[in-house]
Chain A
Amino acid sequence: MLRQTEGSQAVARAVAMCRPEVICAYPISPQTHIVEALSDFVRTEELAPCEFISVESEFAAMSVAIGASATGARAYTATASQGLLYMAEALYNAAGLGLPIVMTVANRAIGAPINIWNDHSDTMSQRDSGWIQLYAETNQEALDLHIQAFKLAEALSAPVMVCMDGFILTHAYERVDLPSQEQVDAFLPPFEPRQVLDPAEPVTIGAMVGPEAFSEVKYLAHAKQMQALDLIPEIGAEFAGMFGRDSGGLLRSYRSEDAETIVVALGSVMGTIEETIDELRDEGVRIGAVAIKSFRPFPLEEVRAALGHAQRVLVLEKALAVGIGGIVSANVRMALSGIQLHGYTVIAGLGGRPIKRASLRRLFAEAIADELGPLTFLDMNWDVVQRELDRQRGGRRPGPHAENIIRDIGTVAAGSH
C-alpha cells in the first residue's frame, strides 16, 4: 500500500512486520522516532508477542539484544553516532558469537565537536566489527532492507546493520510502498536459532578461545561474510520476485556501462548524484555512478567489474579517516588492484553539510579534466581553516578550534541557531 510517511515510521512498520520478539533501545537522535513508533506498536499490542525493553545505555541495549538473541528471540535495536560507539564492545561480541541481531543505524556524525547531523563516521568506525553493513539510498529501500536483513542475519547467523542517513532519510516524508503482513510472513519464516541458551538443554556460548583456535574462529566470521556475498543478491532477487521491486543487492550501477568517469558513493546522496549525472549526460559527458549497497562484506569482484573499464573513479564519501583521508576509497582501490586509472577521493557532507548539485557539477568537471587532487574536501571553506591555522601559530593559548571558528563565522552561519 502506498503511503506518504516519514522514513522512521516506514522503517518502524517494516520492523514490526518482521515480528521481532525483543526490542531494546536507548533514545538518541536521529534514530529516536523509529523506536518510539515501535514502543507504541508494542504498547497497543499491534506488535505482539514482543517485549520492549527500555535500557539505561546503548551498551545495555546491545547487551540485552545479545541475551535475547542467544535465548532464541528475534532481536532488534537501533542507534546512531556516539550511541554506536558506546556499544562497540558489545557489537564485536554479537558478531563474534554469531547472533543474528538486526540494528538500524541512523547515520550521524561523531564528536568532538558534538554534532547531531548526518554523515557516515559512526558506521564506518565499526566496519570491521563483524557486522554486515547495508546502506539504504531511499526510505523505500530502508524499509525493504530491514525485511531482507532479518532473513540474511538468520540465514547466516550473523548480525546485520541497516544504515540509513540520519535526518535526510529518517526525518524525510516521501512515498513508500508498505507491504502487507502476509507478504512479509511469506518471505520471512519464524526465527530458528542455530544455537540457543535453554535451561532444559544447557550449553555455553562465548567460551574463551586461546591462540590454538582464535584465528580459526575469527576466520569463520570472515567466511560467513564471504557467504553473504552470494546470499545478499539471492535474497534481493527473492525479494524482487515477491514484492515486485529491486532493493538491496551488493551494488547498483547507474548509466555507468559506457562511462569514462564513474562516481562511487553510499546512501541517500545517490539521488542528488544521479540528477547531476543526468544533466551532464544531456551535455554528452560520459559519466555514471555506482552505489555500494553492501559495504560489509565488501564486494571486491563486483566493484572491479563495475569500475574496471573507466578512465577515472571518484569516490565520494561521508567520513574522514583522519591521517589518511578516505575509507570507502581505500576499499575501492583494493578492488581495482592492478588496474591503471585515475582515482580521486572526495570527502563530502561531513556533519550534515548539504551536498549540492551545483557543487557536484563543479567537482565532476574538475575530475573529468583530471585537475582534482587525490584528496578533495567538497565545499570546504579554506579561509576559515587558514584563519584558524594562523591563530594557532600566533601565540600562546589560542583556544579551542570549534569555538574560535563559530565566533568567526557567526552563530546563524554556523547553523547552530
Chain B
Amino acid sequence: MFQVRIHGRGGQGVVTAAELLSVAAFLEGRHAQAFPTFGSERTGAPVVSFCRIDDREIRSREPISEPDALIVQDPTLLHQVNLFEGLSPDGYMLINTTRSFDELGLGEFVKQFRHDRLLTVPAADLAREHIGRPIPNAALLGGFAALSGLITIGSVAEAIRDRFTGRMADGNVAAAEAAFDFVQTEIRDLAHA
C-alpha cells in the first residue's frame, strides 16, 4: 500500500487533488481510496486530504499518520502545521514553492530524507501560466507522477479530463505536464550533480 497526504489551504483544490490521484490510480487498474479531513472548510484555512493506493481492496479508513509521500500545496503551512509528521526517511515530498529548501529554512531538516525524493516545484506559477489562476493541485499531481513514478502523467491527464471540460481541462492538463517535465529535469540534474 502506498499512502499520500496532501496539505494545503481551502480553495487550492486539496480535496480534488486526492480525488484525482485516486482516479489516476484507478485508471491504471489499482484500488484507491481518497478522502479529506472533513471540517467546516473555509477559504484559506488549513486542509488535509489523503489517498491510499494498493493492488487489493483497501479496508482501513483511519487518517494517514505515516505517509509514504507528502504533497504540500502551500509552503506558508510550514510554520503552522506539523507537515512532516510521520513521513518515513524513504518518503517522498513535493512542495509548491519557487524557493529552495535552504530558502525555506528547511536545508538542515531535509538532510534526514533522501535528497532525490524531496523536491520543490513552482506549481502556482505553472498554474497561473496555464490556467490563469494560481491553483496548484493539478500541476503538483503532474510533478508527483514524475517524482514517485507511482502513476503515469497520462493517467493524471485522463483523470483531469474526467473531472473538467474545455479550457479548464486543457489548462490543468498543460500545467500538470509542465510540472511533470520540470520535476523530471530536476531529478535528472540531481542524478548528475
Q: Could you tell me which A residues sit within 8 Å of B by CB distance?
A: 2, 4, 6, 30, 116-117, 167-168, 171-175, 268-272, 274-275, 352, 354-357, 412, 415-417
Return the contact of B31 from the options A175, A274, A355, A356 (Cβ within 8 A).
A175
Return the contact of B46 from the options A6, A175, A417 (Cβ within 8 A).
A417
Return the contact of B38 from the options A6, A275, A352, A355 (Cβ within 8 A).
A352
B39 and A173 form a contact (CB under 8 A)? no
Question: How far apart sit A117 and B37, CA to CA, in the bound complex (Å)?
Answer: 10
B36 and A171 form a contact (CB under 8 A)? yes
Return the contact of B62 from the options A6, A174, A355, A415 (Cβ within 8 A).
A355
A-side contacts of B37, CB under 8 Å: 415
Question: How far apart sit A117 and B62, CA to CA, in the bound complex (Å)?
Answer: 14
Residue from A168, A175, A268 having most chain B Cβ neighbours under 10 A: A175
A-side contacts of B60, CB under 8 Å: 271-272, 275, 357
B26 and A175 form a contact (CB under 8 A)? yes
Whether B32 sits at the interface, judged by CB under 8 Å, is yes
B155 to chain A, nearest CB (A): 11
A-side contacts of B36, CB under 8 Å: 167, 171
A272 and B59 form a contact (CB under 8 A)? yes
Whether B125 sits at the interface, judged by CB under 8 Å, is no
B62 and A272 form a contact (CB under 8 A)? yes
A-side contacts of B58, CB under 8 Å: 174, 271
A-side contacts of B31, CB under 8 Å: 174-175
B61 and A269 form a contact (CB under 8 A)? yes
Whether B40 sits at the interface, judged by CB under 8 Å, is yes
Known contacts A4-B22, A4-B23, A172-B33; A356/B65 CB under 8 A: yes
Question: How far apart sit A269 and B60, CA to CA, in the bound complex (Å)?
Answer: 8
CB-defined interface of B36-55 with A at 8 Å, one 1/0 digit per residue? 11111000011000000000
Return the contact of B33 from the options A2, A117, A173 (Cβ within 8 A).
A173
B39 and A4 form a contact (CB under 8 A)? no
B-side contacts of A412, CB under 8 Å: 46, 80-81
Known contacts A171-B38, A415-B39, A417-B39; A357/B62 CB under 8 A: yes
B22 and A173 form a contact (CB under 8 A)? yes
B1-58 interface (Cβ within 8 A of A): 15, 18-19, 22-23, 26-27, 31-40, 45-46, 58
B45 and A271 form a contact (CB under 8 A)? no
Return the contact of B32 from the options A174, A354, A416 (Cβ within 8 A).
A174
B35 and A173 form a contact (CB under 8 A)? yes
A173 and B32 form a contact (CB under 8 A)? yes
Known contacts A274-B59, A275-B59; A417/B33 CB under 8 A: no
* Closest residue on chain A to residue B65 by CB atoms: A356
B-side contacts of A355, CB under 8 Å: 62
Return the contact of B35 from the options A117, A171, A352 (Cβ within 8 A).
A171
B-side contacts of A352, CB under 8 Å: 38
Known contacts A171-B36, A416-B39; A4/B62 CB under 8 A: no
Residue from A4, A117, A355 having most chain B Cβ neighbours under 10 A: A4
B-side contacts of A6, CB under 8 Å: 19
Residue from B39, B61, B62 having most chain A Cβ neighbours under 10 A: B61
20 residue pairs from A and B, CB less than 8 Å apart: A167-B36, A167-B38, A168-B35, A171-B15, A173-B22, A173-B32, A173-B33, A174-B22, A174-B31, A174-B34, A268-B61, A270-B59, A271-B58, A271-B59, A272-B59, A272-B62, A354-B63, A412-B81, A415-B37, A415-B39
B38 and A116 form a contact (CB under 8 A)? yes
B142 to chain A, nearest CB (A): 19
A-side contacts of B23, CB under 8 Å: 4, 173
Q: A168-B61, A172-B61, A173-B19 are in contact. List 14 more A-B contacts (CB 8 A).
A: A4-B32, A117-B39, A172-B35, A173-B23, A174-B22, A174-B34, A175-B26, A271-B59, A274-B59, A354-B63, A356-B62, A356-B63, A415-B37, A415-B39
Return the contact of A271 from the options B19, B61, B63 (Cβ within 8 A).
B61
B74-99 interface (Cβ within 8 A of A): 80-81
A170 to chain B, nearest CB (A): 9
Question: How far apart sit A416 and B40, CA to CA, in the bound complex (Å)?
Answer: 8
A-side contacts of B59, CB under 8 Å: 270-272, 274-275
* Closest residue on chain B to residue A359 by CB atoms: B62
Nearest 7 A-B pairs (CB), nearest first? A271-B59, A4-B26, A167-B38, A173-B34, A172-B35, A356-B62, A173-B22
A6 to chain B, nearest CB (A): 7
A-side contacts of B45, CB under 8 Å: 417
B-side contacts of A171, CB under 8 Å: 15, 35-36, 38
B-side contacts of A174, CB under 8 Å: 22, 31-34, 58
B38 and A117 form a contact (CB under 8 A)? yes
B-side contacts of A272, CB under 8 Å: 59-62
B55 to chain A, nearest CB (A): 12
* Closest residue on chain A to residue B58 by CB atoms: A174
* Closest residue on chain A to residue B40 by CB atoms: A116
Question: How far apart sit A275 and B36, CA to CA, in the bound complex (Å)?
Answer: 21
A410 to chain B, nearest CB (A): 12
Question: How far apart sit A240 and B127, CA to CA, in the bound complex (Å)?
Answer: 47
B-side contacts of A268, CB under 8 Å: 61
Question: How far apart sit A265 and B55, CA to CA, in the bound complex (Å)?
Answer: 26
B-side contacts of A269, CB under 8 Å: 61
Question: How far apart sit A168 and B59, CA to CA, in the bound complex (Å)?
Answer: 12
A-side contacts of B63, CB under 8 Å: 354, 356
